[in-house]
Structure 1
Amino acid sequence: MASITNELAAILTTVRRPGDFFASGLIELLAPQLEVDGVGQIALPLLPTQAKQLVAAAERAPFGRGQQTLVDTAVRRTWQIGPNQVRIQGRGWARTLSAILTCVCDGLGVAEPVQAEFYKLLLYDEGSFFASHRDTEKAPGMFATLVVVLPSASTGGELLVRHKDREVRLDLHGPDPSEVAFAAFYADCVHEVLPITSGFRLALIYNLLRPGPGRRPEPPSYANQQAQLAALLQAWSADLSLSNVDAPEKLIFPLEHAYTPAELGFGALKGADAAAAAVLKAAAQAADCDLHLALISVQESGSAEYTGYTSSYRRWSEPDEDEFEEIEVLDRYIALSTWQRPDGQPSVLGEIPVGDDELCPPDALDDLEPDEEHFHEATGNEGASFERTYRRAALVLWPRQRFFAVLCQAGLAVTLPYLADLTERWLSSGEDHTSLLWREAHELCGHMISSWHGQERYPAREKAPSHATEMLILLIQLMDKTRLEAFLATIAAGSGLFAEGDNDAIVQALGLLRPRLAAALSQQIVAGNAATSLMVCGNLLARLAASGGPGRGGDLRGAATALIEALPGDPQHAPAQGPWWQDRSVKSRFVLDLLEALCRIDPQLAEHAVGHMLTWPQTYKLDAVLVPAMRDLNRSTIAREPAVAPLRDACLAHLRTRIAKPLAPPHDWSRASVLPCQCRHCADLSRFLADPERRAWAFKAVEAERSHVEQTIQRAHCDVDVSTDRRGRPYTLVCTKNQASYDRRAKQRSKDLEDVIHLGGGDHS
């Protein structure tokens, strides 16, 4: 089906003439001066009194049968007044009639000049009708009839028009007295007027003529193209139903004319665009496809070069954009938006990306003139660049059965609310899993799960629930265990598809599955994500253990073993740094979650994990990770578990060793003087630090040298306060010694003493 895009475009490009066998509408009325012999000036809207006067001045309208003209109220019951008795004047009416003819010509697909010849004035009273018939040629060059219904109050009287195997029902009531309703149809159409049920209808009848020699206009017929398109779309739909066929999910036919978002609509299409839309609409309906109108936006960016010549007088001026030239397109993004349906109803679709294989033809967007284009000068290490945007309207269609697949291309921001609505309606209906609503939700879930990778971006960095929680909650409400299993397997595939805030929903979902299946999925989720989302997996394991295990008693040892196997160890052999959103660092809360989970699942696994952490102190730092974890763990019921004792002992030994170190304030002004820099200014700083007599040092130097010395003080954590004396030039960096090292150690000792007590090591005050 790779050629479908070319085939569809080739067929549609032969459809150049818009129009149909009928045209109708409403238009603003610039009221005519209407005068009838024997009645006088006619007021509009028509008054009942004048309607009766018109009846008195009229005659029964006849109809033709072969060469005869007959009057038979069983076939036609209405009143007519001939053109020689009617005068229609006023410049306003000429403009109104001209506007009507423009609409009619567009609707009938007539490009040649058309004349409207007034034929008669018809008055329909209650019970009036006209049975099914065809109009005869009433004047040379006549090809169609135009009916203009002037403002008058009536009900009923719909106009039925048939052409070949099609029929339309036109309501010619103008809801507003300032508007006039009209309808036109080709002369070979069979038509009838249904009975007027109340009131009066006043209508002007015109013969539409094409003057001069030549063939008369006929309704455009694209029956062959419509049949070809329908067959093509049916074959495409059948191929898409086969999962092993590589066919485009949707077809996009860009239109010729430009349309703004405000004017985009099927009724506003022009020329060949309107013709293509009409034919494609009929073919799509026959092939059970959905047709939409949308705007394509193409955004491109890339490298450029400056081609202008800089003269001395322009040296400091900004270059013009026409002095740049594109070199290469580096990034291109195409998307559809501003969706319009043929019936005018709102669409749930949002922005949907476009694949190059979906354009009809594939080069449809080549050689377009950009709507916006901007060039940017080179800055720093970046060369000159450009950005530009193209916009085109397009007809978009897909098989109706593939709607959910297309909907998923709009992303989770669209599909999740849609699924939530389906779920809510199913729950409210009280129906079971055989209902249409549930089956639609089940199908949509399948498409969402299969496309989930790539939609959920960087959730592992978040603690709040991600889209995964919304999906799980909806699946739980639907009690769709098949999709639950599939979605949990998708999460298990890794790439950080869930956040810590999703763990409650995952635990709840696993609880609905069979214990053995839930245990296996738990292990897969941990094994698939621990390398990139260690904290999240530790928290999940702790929640599962606290809940009693997955699936009401499922074994968590597999998941626990997978997490232990993923524990980081030797920092020299740590994996390369991953994407910025992946957090592989070890934090105290992870140790707390891990030990609480392992002590509940299997104490031997807890012993193994503790031994691993004590083996790699550079990864599991005592002060940053283990001591805070043990302090929090001491509040837990597992604090006295034998498996945890070696970790507590190691923390206590570390704290007591530091507490035992002598602590006294400095007795003179000498301070630690080993510095990372040996330049002459830093050598002066080192001598100042080592001097037991000097408390302050004034360093008068230019800004760069002052800044360098200040940075050395910061990097070496020197016991020095700095300030800048701005009197004179250059300024002076004033360095004053303090006892920050002693203060830090005193504060640390106080905290160490508190930690020893919290860890159960006794009072060392």
Structure 2
Amino acid sequence: MLTRKNLSRSTTADPAVPVIRRIQQLLASAGTPGTFATRHTAGIDDIYFDVVDVGAVQLPLSHRTAQKLCDVARPARYGLREKTLLDPRVRDTWEIGKRQIKLDTRHWQRTLDPKLDLIARDLGLPDGVKLRAELHNLLVYGPGQFFAPHQDSEKADGMIGSLVVLLPSDSKGGALAIEHHDEKVSYRGSPNQLVLVAFYADCRHEVRPVASGYRAALTFNLFLDVAERRSERTTAPPVDALFDLVRDYFATQRPARGPLWPSSPAPERLVYLLDHEYTQKGLAWRALKNGDAVRASLLREVADRLDCEVVLALADVHETWSCEDDWGDDGRRRRGWYARYDGDEEDGDDGDEDYTLIELCNSDVELRHWVATSNKRVQAISDEVMDDEICFTKPSVDLEPFKSEHEGYTGNAGNTVDRWYHRAAVLLWPRVRTFAIRAKASPAWGIQEIAKALARRKAEVAKQRIGEMLPFWNSVAPREKAPGLADQILHVAHAIDDAQLATALVEPLRIEQMMPKMATRWGNLLARYGLTWCAQVFERWTSRDERHYDHEPRTTWLVLLPALSALLCTHGGEDAVELVRRIVRGQWMWLNARLDAWIKPPLSSHSLKTIEGASRPLVGLLAAAALADDRDLQSTIVARLAPERGYPIVGALAVLRAGAPHGAAMLGLGPLHDDCARTLTELVATPPRAPGDWSIMTQLGCKCELCARLGRFLRAANEQQFEWPLAKDRRAHVHGMITSYELPVTHVTRRTGSPYTLVLTKTQALFTRDATERATWMRDLAWLRENAKTPRRVRAQRK
């Protein structure tokens, strides 16, 4: 059972812009002209209809006629999202389709038309709007039959509600209970007259179990006459007050929220969440329901006065709440806030949600399916909606979620529940901010618009647009996934002919986005802004704090660096050569820092794979250095890779293999080739491990007394097993060292005595590894000798 506790917090309980609360209060005070459900009556003789294979249905409905109707009916199904299901535990009733019903429409319409006018008034529809009712089916409920709480789907465009015509009978029970937000009403049939119940389609409703007799009802879908135009209501509070508030809202800077959250620009848009639910088919300005229509009309008038854009949109709301499990100390369910519709029915459960909502932890809103005031769909601007841009008169928590997921207590998180709602909203924003709002949602679109302005020689317009984007540019541009964005930014940075604006435009780009095909762009930028400007851009990209940044994109890009460098040197002259030289040196500093971390002991198999994977980026740097005639940098890199200076032999060999297609001479790899050959010759010359030699010469980085004792055991040639009484935390440290260094030693705890005994055993893998390693040395040495006889070179000339 869902209950609520301390629900004072909402998405605008502590708004960053206080004026939005006054906007919310003013909209809430706008008089709701109608209700969500209404009831009218008509005479028995006001409707005549026949049913196939039954004939004319006489009213009041007799048991015999009801049984005949059940004989020609079928069990009623129900919809669940995209499915149509048959489950008597949810819906237990008989249904007769409209094709089996012959209604005397002319006679019935004389009664129905004036009733529809009254219903339209009761539901708060504007003057002049006409309702139209289309027959849907005939439902017959026998003793014990019911329909569980549900919500009707909008079956066609323009449908806004349902009309249920309860036929007179002597049945008992079977009340139609209707709920919207926290309001509930219940209607029953009559023994001697028609009862007409109309309600909006987004209302949850149910048919209570029939106690005795038969309950029958004709159901109709209610539509708005699309030929009618919505008239404006005059019962709303003065528009002037709302005009002043909305104007202040868009002019007020967001206040600071502490030292880490300084004040920020005024909000870009106002989002008002409507009270009623709407589907994509039913969302239209002319189809808004009672209070929604009044408040939307107010906002439209304010938008016109303030020169604002205004649209309708579907709003998908996701909220995460902290909660408590709704179980008492005795293990039984607690009763919650929710009660049944009226007191003459036995209380029952309302679903199976056994938690109490405590506090709203997080919420987000996605806006889609935008509808302009012309009722035409317009392109949605997909962007995050900030909490201080949202107001409402009904919080989402008061609505029925279409999906709910309860996550109980876990080791790292509290008890939470996620709830999703389908809502609708009115959006408005100053028309002068349309470009900034769209550019924030789609940086690629913004850059394209600026490029178009430059192509039309409207440089001042382009500069103004750039100025509108700069406050959010660094936060949104890195998230843009549109292809070709970086190339377009470089084009605009050159065309704008303003070094300061160009710097701001390229700032959020990453160096990995600079592809070889952009070499011409950089040639143009060099010619316009000079070597210093271009070099500083690359330096800032390289030195950006990236402690949590995956290195793989950068190392992948370094493989492409020679292609970019070659094209840049070809088209950019001596300044381009110097720019390449500075880029390569900056990238070597970046990669060298990572090499230091990768070769730090213990060298695991994963570390060695990472070091081997660095071979192609290293060759990329060496090749780019060759293009820039930077032999000093080549010598520095090659010296760093020497096994004699501690670089792993597998990594040095991987560089030699990756560089072979280029030629050792071009890359300056001759000294590394010789160093590897000497190292492997010495290794191959060492005696193989003797049988029974259990020594492991791995040097442990830790200098504690436990690792000192472990090291003595590892180096002992005649000691295969060691039994070591150790406390739990000390055993854990030894376990960790053996695992991290991937030693061929098993570690098993014998759980007897105090403390337990750690049993270390050297395995046969020690001999297998040595044999495999020696075979690898011999193969690698043979490859080096063969490679030295037939060196390969690839010309790398710069024109």
Matched, 1:651 2:676: yes
What's the CA shift string for 1:178-206, capped at 9, x where partnerless? x99976999xxxxxxxxxxxxxxxxxxxx
Aligned-pair CA distance for 1:587: 0.9
How much has 1:390 moved relative to structure 2?
Answer: 4.4
Asked if the contact 2:487/2:518 (under 8 Å) is kept, the reply is no
Q: Which residue of 2 aligns with 1:434?
A: 456
Change over 3 Å in CA distance of 1:12–1:330 after alignment to 2: closer
The equivalent of 1:349 in structure 2 is 380
Query: Gapped runs of 5+ residues in structure 2?
Result: 1-15, 35-46, 48-104, 132-223, 254-262, 334-350, 601-608, 701-705, 721-733, 747-760, 792-799
Letter in 2 for 1:498: R
Taking the aligned partners of 1:472 and 1:312, their CA distance within structure 2 comes to: 61
**Aligned to 2:320, what secondary structure does the other structure show?**
strand
Structure 1 residue 378 corresponds to structure 2 residue 404: no
CA distance in 1, matches of 2:225, 2:327: 60
Partner of 1:633: 659
Kept in 1, the 8 Å contact 2:130–2:228? The answer is: no
Q: CA deviation at 1:224?
A: 8.4
> Which residue of structure 1 aligns with residue 521 of structure 2?
509
Alpha-carbon distance in structure 1 between the residues aligned to 2:363 and 2:228: 47
Q: Where in structure 2 are the equivalents of 1:190-589 lying within 5 Å?
A: 220-221=233-234, 225-230=238-243, 246-301=265-320, 303-306=322-325, 308-309=327-328, 323-326=354-357, 328-360=359-391, 365=395, 368-369=398-399, 371=401, 372-380=403-411, 382-410=413-441, 412=442, 416=444, 418=445, 433-434=455-456, 451-455=472-476, 467=481, 469-475=483-489, 481-482=495-496, 489=503, 493=507, 497-498=509-510, 500=512, 502-515=514-527, 517=529, 519-530=531-542, 532=546, 534-535=554-555, 538-539=558-559, 541-549=561-569, 552-553=572-573, 554=575, 555-556=578-579, 557-569=581-593, 587-589=614-616
Q: Does 341-350 or 320-329 show the bigger shift?
A: 320-329
**Cα distance between partner residues in 2 of 1:574 and 1:740:** 22
How far the C-alpha of 1:552 sits from its partner, in A, is 1.8
SS of 2:484 mapped into structure 1 = helix
Shift of 1:588: 1.1
Distance 1:492 1:624 in 2: 39
Separation (CA, whole Å) in 2 of partners of 1:184 and 1:645:
85
**Percent of pairs with identical residues:** 19
Q: SS at the partner of 1:632?
A: helix
Deviation readout 1:298-332 (Å, 9 max, x if unpaired): 43335444452466999xxxxx9655444554443
Question: Do the aligned partners of residues 352 and 483 (structure 1) sit closer, same or farther apart at CA in structure 2, a change above 3 Å counting?
Answer: farther
Show the counterpart of 2:184.
none
Secondary structure of the corresponding residue to residue 393 of structure 1: strand
Task: Give, in whole Å, the separation in 2 of the partners of 1:262 and 1:384.
Answer: 37
The 3 A distance-change label for structure 1 pair 656 and 566 is same
CA distance in 2, matches of 1:325, 1:17: 31
Summarize deviations over 1:481-509 as a string: whole Å, max 9, x none.
23997897468647xx5374642354343
Note closer, same or farther for the CA distance 1:584–1:308 as it changes in structure 2 (3 Å cut). same
**C-alpha distance in 1 between matches for 2:621 and 2:327:** 65
Q: Could you tell me how far 1:406 is from its partner in structure 2?
A: 2.0
What is the TM-score with the length of structure 2 in the denominator?
0.53
Indicate conservation of the 8 Å contact 2:643/2:676, yes or no: no
Q: Is the 8 A contact 1:297 1:390 kept in 2?
A: yes
CA distance in 2, matches of 1:239, 1:305: 39
Q: Is the contact made by 2:317 and 2:363 (CA closer than 8 Å) also made in structure 1?
A: yes
Cα offset for 1:446? 6.5
> Structure 1 residue 257: deviation in Å?
2.7
Q: Please say if 1:590 is aligned against 2:607.
A: no
Q: Are 2:655 and 1:623 equivalent residues in the alignment?
A: no
C-alpha distance in structure 1 between counterparts of 2:649 and 2:468, whole Å: 48
Instruction: Return the offset for 1:269.
Output: 0.9
Structure-to-structure mapping, 1:593-604, within 5 angstroms: 593-604=620-631
Asked if 2 retains the 8 angstrom alpha-carbon contact of 1:472 and 1:509, the reply is no
- Whether 1:609 aligns to 2:640 is no
Q: For each residue in 1:729-760, what CA deviation from the matched residue of structure 2 results, as whole angstroms up to 9, or x when unmatched?
A: xxxx9x98885532442133113321343256
**SS of the counterpart of 2:656?**
helix
Comparing both chains, which one has the higher relative contact order based on Cα–Cα distances under 8 Å and sequence gaps of 6 or more? 2
8 Å Cα contact 1:519/1:559 also seen in 2:
no
SS, match of residue 256 in structure 1: coil
Deviations 1:269-301 (A, max 9, x none): 111211222232233123221111223444333
Q: Name the aligned partner's letter for residue 755 of structure 1.
A: L
Question: Using the alignment, how far apart are the partners of 1:299 and 1:181 within structure 2?
Answer: 33
**CA spacing shift, 1:716–1:627, aligned 2, 3 Å:** closer
- SS of residue matched to 2:665: coil
Q: Deviations over 1:140-194 (max 9, x none)?
A: xxxxxxxxxxxxxxxxxxxxxxxxxxxxxxxxxxxxxxx99976999xxxxxxxx
Conserved? CA contact 2:321–2:359, under 8 Å: yes
Greater alpha carbon shift after TM alignment, 445-454 vs 539-548:
445-454
Contact 1:603 1:643 (8 Å CA) reproduced: no
Q: Secondary structure of the equivalent of 1:259? A: coil
Report the TM-score, using the length of structure 1 for normalisation: 0.55
1:291 to 1:604, Cα distance in 2 relative to 1, 3 A: same
Q: Separation in 2 of the partners of 1:396 and 1:308?
A: 42
Structure whose CA Rg is larger: 1
In structure 2, the residue corresponding to 1:404 is in which secondary structure? Answer: helix
> In structure 2, how many angstroms separate the alpha carbons of the residues matched to 1:180 and 1:322?
40
CA distance in 2, matches of 1:659, 1:468: 54
Aligned residue number for residue 749 of structure 1 = 778
Q: Structure 1's 434 and 590: CA in aligned 2 closer, same or farther, altered over 3 A? A: same
Verify the 8 A CA contact 1:588 1:629 in the aligned structure 2: yes
SS in 1 for 2:515: helix
Measure, in 2, the Cα distance between the counterparts of 1:388 and 1:263. Answer: 23
SS in 2 for 1:507: helix
Residue number in structure 1 paired with 2:751: none
Structure 1 unaligned regions, length at least 5: 20-31, 33-87, 115-178, 187-218, 315-319, 459-465, 577-582, 693-707, 721-732
**Amino acid paired to 1:523:** A
Q: 1:92 aligns with which of 84, 101, 109?
A: 109
Alignment CA distance shift 1:435-1:668 (3 Å): closer
Report the CA distance between 1:538 and its aligned residue: 3.6
Q: CA deviation at 1:4?
A: 4.2
> How far does the alpha carbon of each residue in 1:369-408 deviate from its partner, in whole angstroms, 9 at most, with x for none?
5625443333445443322334543211001121232224
- Preserved CA contact (<8 Å) 1:423 1:477: no
User: Aligned AA for 2:238?
Assistant: Q
- Trace 1:691-706 onto structure 2 (pairs within 5 A): none
In structure 2, do the counterparts of structure 1 residues 368 and 97 end up closer, same or farther at CA, with 3 Å as the change threshold? Answer: closer
- How far apart in 1 are the matches of 2:228 and 2:360? 52
Q: Using the alignment, how far apart are the partners of 1:561 and 1:655 within structure 2?
A: 31
Aligned to 2:204: none
